Amino acid sequence: MTRLTSLTPDQLDEKGTALREAIIGPRGDSLINDEGGLHGPFNAWLHAPAIGKNLSRLGSSLRFEMSLDRRLIELAIITVGARWESEFEWYAHSTMAADAGVAQSTIDAIGNGDTPAFTLEDERAVYDVANQLVRDGRLDTVTYTAASELLGETQMVELVSLCGYYTLISFTLNAFNVPLPSGADQMWSKPTT
The residue among 112 and 34 whose pLDDT is bigger is: 112
Residue 30 has pLDDT above 90, yes or no: no
Indicate the SS3 state at residue 30: helix
pTM: 0.92
Q: What is the pLDDT of residues 134-192, one digit of tens each?
A: 999 999 999 999 999 999 999 999 999 999 999 999 999 999 999 888 888 999 976 55
The answer on 107 and 168 residing in a single domain is yes
The stretch 39-47 carries a mean pLDDT of 92
Is 185 a domain residue? no
- The count of domains in the chain is 2
Is 183 a domain residue? no
**Chain-centroid distance, C-alpha 72:** 13
The answer on 84 and 53 residing in a single domain is no
**CB 110, CB 116: distance < 8 Å:** yes
pLDDT at 84: 97
The answer on 133 and 162 residing in a single domain is yes
pLDDT at 31: 84
The answer on 152 and 98 residing in a single domain is yes
Domain that holds residue 139: 68-174
pLDDT at 181: 85
pLDDT at 25: 84
Buried b (16+ CB within 10 A) or exposed e, 135-148: eeeebeeebbebbb
The answer on 72 and 51 residing in a single domain is no
How many other CB atoms sit within 10 Å of the CB of residue 82?
Answer: 26
Task: Enumerate residues 6+ apart whose C-beta is below 8 A from 27.
Answer: none
Domain at 99, CATH number: 1.20.1290.10
pLDDT at 92: 93
- Torsion angle (degrees, nearest 10) of CA 24, 31, 176, 82: -110
The answer on 140 and 83 residing in a single domain is yes
